[in-house]
């Protein structure tokens, strides 16, 4: 058990749109320890990315606003920092890689210069010293022909290479926490594996903590030590990878794991969870999963279950497990 | 500079080259710039030197376009006139670019109330029909080359502010802007390094097209006697003076007018071509 690095408590983020208030996050709670990879899974629109952007305080505002909660990073609440203090955290303490490497690099700047810009934002270094560090980190993320590559523009790189540049940029300041928001979703399967093993290797070398967001359970299983399962804006189950995959408790998690097609089964049809993701302007009352839940009862409609520890380190938010 | 920059410019040039009309525009503009830059070497005579014995001299080998009422060589005056107009164009466009792009970028980037205030101010400036605003500013400041540049500069600010704002709003949605914020960049660096360089092409096109409007406005104000004062050879003022002798010597009015038309046409053709070349998707 390491030291706790990040603790998110009751994070609630709303988007005020013309159609109504989208209650995107509803009391998200989890924590990450030093040197740990925590996975966040859930289907599209369940609030994984909103969680990440809320931690970075990059929610576009208006329309978005963090309504309540605390984000404790090394004990200090990020939500209480001024914008300029927060700028000192972004990139230096917490870095982020995005889903689509094709669009997350500035097309008019050379990649080396972009990484240099990230370094120079946070530390006073000379151009030569900065460039030396850029080349070193390019080498560490396995970008070939470093001396040439730093002078290239993003469009001269493939998606996988661009994601390496993004990783280089994110790690250039040796942040304590790396948020990877679906870092491989936009890449080819073969490249995905390379990027994931690169993240894992660098995470060990730099002893960085990682918040890995993905909708791919396989990715989470190979990468993470701890998993949070999100549904409609809340974490509904949370625990070690072994626990979640071997002993899922929440009906939603069970459904998700059931939906993975298996080579050794002779089922003709894929298992699905009936229904679809709820509209978050008018979320279901009580437990947001109750309309799709096979175990739904009266109290599920009435009251939102809170996360309770069922076994050591394994928490679940479900009334089924919530009786004393 | 870099290889990429060169190839990028080459691609734009190749696209431009396919558009024959734009190439014509480009060469007119080029000719105009060269003539303005090298006026003293090209002009056969001193544009101010009067010789009343030659007043309204017809076209001849000695004076290819003839002479005006004071016997000044018309060709030389038109050549020097290019210098005056290009000074006005560059001066006022620089003013309009600096202020307009700044206002547009700030408004577009931050949005909200600040944007609202800036854009309503621009709307107020735009509400004045055409030249009226420049005219009002000139009559406040008094006619001179410097004031003319200021007036036309102010009158061109809203166009640049609007174009920049639109482009900035489109660029700001890109993920690399979010990525830049995620590495802790300041807003000012994000605007300068990430937003504006990616919003450049409409601004370039607008600059070229605006060159034509500015020239026309300057000539119009010159014609009304509110622009550059005689004896400085300014095409609009020359045209205005020559009006009185239209029956005696139509050429004295025709050639300055033709020069204005040619250059305005050149900038417009070039600007349109540039628009297609920089933004090929827009064409379809």
The two tokens of residue B283 are 């064409």
- Using DSSP's 3-state secondary structure scheme, residue A286 falls into coil
Question: How far apart (Å, rounded) are the C-alpha atoms in residues A125 and B225?
Answer: 58
**B197 to chain A: which residues are within 8 Å by CB?**
106, 108-109
pLDDT of residue A71: 92
pLDDT category at B282 given cuts 50, 70, 90 is low
For A240-266, the pLDDT digits (tens) are 998 888 888 888 888 888 888 777 777
Please tell me the pTM assigned to this model: 0.82
The DSSP bridge pattern shows strands A76-77 and A94-97 to be unpaired
For B38-49, the pLDDT digits (tens) are 988 988 888 888
Q: List domains and CATH numbers for chain B.
A: 3-283 (1.10.3720.10)
The two tokens of residue A317 are 């938010």
Give the strand order in the sheet containing A234-240. A94-97, A177-181, A209-213, A37-41, A226-231, A234-240, A314-316, A308-311
Q: Which of B2, B179, B185 sits opposite A98 (nearest CB)?
A: B179
Question: How far apart (Å, rounded) are the C-alpha atoms in residues A187 and B189?
Answer: 30
Q: Which residues contact A210 (CB under 8 A, 6 or more apart)?
A: A36, A37, A38, A177, A178, A179, A180, A199, A203, A223
The whole-number average pLDDT for the span B163-192 is 91
Q: Which of A110, A151, A169 sits opposite B183 (nearest CB)?
A: A169
Q: State the sign of the Cα–Cα–Cα–Cα dihedral B68, B70, B76, B80.
A: negative
Question: How far apart (Å, rounded) are the C-alpha atoms in residues A139 and A321?
Answer: 50
Question: Exposure string (b/e) for A180-207, b if CB count within 10 Å is 16 or more?
Answer: bbbbbebbeeebbebbbebbbebbeeee
For A16-66, the pLDDT digits (tens) are 988 888 888 888 988 899 889 999 998 887 888 899 999 999 888 778 888
* DSSP H helices in B44-144: 74-110, 112-127, 132-141
Whether the CB-CB separation of A134 and A147 falls below 8 Å is answered with no
For A64-82, the pLDDT digits (tens) are 888 888 999 988 899 888 9
User: Do A90 and B176 make contact, defined as CB atoms within 8 angstroms?
Assistant: no
A interface test, pick of B183, B194, B196 with most A CB neighbours within 10 Å: B183
- What radius of gyration, in Å, describes the C-alpha atoms of chain A? 21
* Rounded (10°) CA dihedral B233, B234, B239, B242: -20
ipTM value: 0.82
Q: List domains and CATH numbers for chain A.
A: 4-93+175-321 (3.40.50.300)
């Amino acid at each position: 058990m390491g030291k706790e690095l990040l603790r998110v408590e009751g994070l609630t983020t709303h988007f005020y749109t013309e159609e109504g208030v989208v209650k995107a996050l509803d009391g998200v709670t989890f924590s990450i320890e030093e040197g740990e990879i925590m996975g966040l899974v859930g289907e599209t629109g369940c609030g994984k990315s909103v969680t990440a952007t809320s931690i970075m305080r990059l929610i576009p505002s208006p329309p978005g606003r963090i309504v309540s909660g605390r984000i404790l990073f090394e004990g200090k609440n990020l939500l209480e920092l001024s914008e300029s203090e927060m700028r000192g955290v972004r990139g230096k303490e917490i870095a982020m890689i995005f889903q689509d490497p094709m669009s997350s690099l500035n097309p008019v700047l050379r990649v080396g210069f972009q990484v240099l810009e990230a370094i120079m934002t946070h530390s006073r270094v000379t151009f030569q010293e900065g460039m030396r560090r850029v080349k070193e980190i390019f080498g560490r993320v396995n970008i070939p022909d470093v001396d040439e590559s730093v002078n290239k523009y993003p469009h001269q790189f493939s998606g996988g290479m661009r994601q390496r540049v993004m990783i280089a940029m994110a790690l250039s300041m040796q942040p304590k926490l790396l948020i990877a928001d679906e870092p491989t979703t936009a890449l080819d399967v073969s490249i995905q594996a390379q990027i994931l093993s690169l993240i894992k290797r660098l995470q060990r070398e730099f002893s960085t903590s990682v918040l890995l967001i993905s909708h791919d359970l396989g990715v989470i299983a190979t990468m993470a030590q701890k998993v949070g399962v999100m549904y409609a804006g809340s974490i509904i189950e949370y625990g070690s990878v072994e626990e979640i995959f071997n002993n899922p408790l929440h009906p939603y998690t069970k459904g998700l794991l059931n939906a993975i097609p298996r080579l050794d089964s002779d089922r003709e049809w894929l298992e699905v969870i009936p229904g679809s993701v709820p509209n978050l302007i008018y979320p279901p009352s009580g437990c947001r999963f109750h309309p799709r839940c096979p175990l739904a009862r009266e109290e599920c409609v009435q009251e939102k279950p809170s996360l309770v520890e069922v076994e050591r380190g394994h928490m679940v938010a479900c009334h089924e497990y919530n009786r004393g | 500079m870099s290889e990429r920059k060169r190839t990028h410019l080459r691609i734009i040039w190749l696209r431009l080259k396919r558009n024959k009309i734009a190439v014509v525009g480009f060469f007119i503009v080029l000719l105009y710039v060269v003539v303005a830059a090298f006026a003293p070497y090209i002009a056969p005579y001193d544009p101010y030197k009067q010789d009343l014995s030659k007043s309204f001299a017809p076209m001849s080998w000695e004076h290819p376009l003839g002479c005006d009422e004071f016997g000044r060589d018309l060709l030389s005056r038109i050549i020097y006139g290019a210098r005056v107009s290009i000074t006005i164009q560059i001066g006022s466009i620089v003013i309009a670019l600096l202020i307009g792009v700044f206002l547009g970028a700030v408004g577009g980037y931050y949005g909200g109330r600040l944007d609202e205030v800036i854009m309503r101010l621009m709307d107020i400036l735009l509400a004045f029909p055409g030249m009226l605003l420049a005219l009002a500013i000139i009559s406040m400041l008094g006619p001179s080359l410097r004031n003319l540049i200021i007036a036309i500069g102010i009158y061109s600010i809203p166009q640049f502010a609007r174009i920049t704002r639109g482009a900035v709003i489109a660029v700001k949605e890109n993920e690399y802007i979010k990525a830049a914020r995620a590495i802790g960049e300041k807003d000012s660096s994000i605007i300068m390094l990430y937003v504006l360089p990616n919003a450049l092409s409409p601004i370039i096109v607008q600059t070229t097209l605006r060159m034509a409007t500015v020239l026309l406005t300057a000539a119009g104000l010159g014609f009304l006697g509110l622009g550059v004062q005689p004896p400085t050879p300014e095409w609009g003022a020359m045209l205005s003076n020559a009006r009185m002798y239209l029956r005696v010597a139509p050429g004295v009015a025709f050639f300055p007018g033709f020069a204005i038309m040619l250059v305005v046409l050149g900038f417009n053709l070039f600007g349109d071509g540039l628009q297609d070349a920089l933004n090929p998707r827009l064409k379809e």
